[in-house]
Structure 1
Amino acid sequence: MKDNNYFTREIAPAATDIKTIYQDYNDGFAIARLYAVLSVYSSGSFGQINSVLDTYWANVGDGVYTIEDAHANSVSGTGKFPTNKISVSGTAVIDVAFDQTGGFDLAGIGYSLTTSNHFRKAIQKGYTYTYGN
């Protein structure tokens, strides 16, 4: 089930779910999405994040580019799990071959042309997410 920037899948009749959250990096040419996959528990108005199962970048745009040198991490906002708040952060490099730019002026939005005729741009993204009370 999709609800804005979150996907939820129930994994047990109890109140334990897998929740996938994300935010996008969008520079007008490339769209890279920073995901975090969480194990969450809820009962009534109570909710908590039990653990982070995965954190990763994905290419979700229409352009012909790759995401390289991707690093992503999620940490508890309280220093331990379970928690009700996490911080998600990541860095990566967007790489596009010169002949795949479609005439788009990549240098004008921060890309650098390498000696191998690729445009590259270092990106970063970070956000916090709160679940429950």
Structure 2
Amino acid sequence: MSVQKLNNTELQQGTPASASWHRDFADTNTIYIGKLPEEMNEHDLLIMFSQYGVPTAVHLARDSYTGKSKCFAFLTYEAWESTVLAVDNFDSWNITPKNRLRVNHAYYKGRSEGPNDDEMEKWEKAVQEELLNKDFAK
């Protein structure tokens, strides 16, 4: 069932926030973002998703050989409530005419080892430094 259908059902039934389906994911501050345009990068995601809270980590899945985006990402927020806002507001949002975002709660397992592991590790460290040096709460 889509996020919008779940939310509409809860709204119609008068489900209190404490019993919302979102509560099933109260133990994770991470969201999955799918159907991204190939040209989007981590910085774009941080800017876009920071409107609902403070991001603490972002991982854009990339091909281990080419470095090209696989068009999905995981983003972690400082607060769980931010995940609810991001899921409710960005799921099914048309970012381009060809890209209708899929956003949902997620558990991020981390990346697997690959042939360009050193380069990917350097890139992820650079992204983490960017997160530490920017105040996305503003």
Q: Which structure exhibits the higher relative contact order, with contacts defined as CA atoms closer than 8 Å and separated by 6 or more residues?
A: 2
TM-score normalised per structure 1: 0.26
Q: Which structure has the highest strand share of the two?
A: 1
Q: Which structure has the highest helix share of the two?
A: 2
TM-score normalised per structure 2: 0.25
Report the structure number with the largest CA radius of gyration.
1
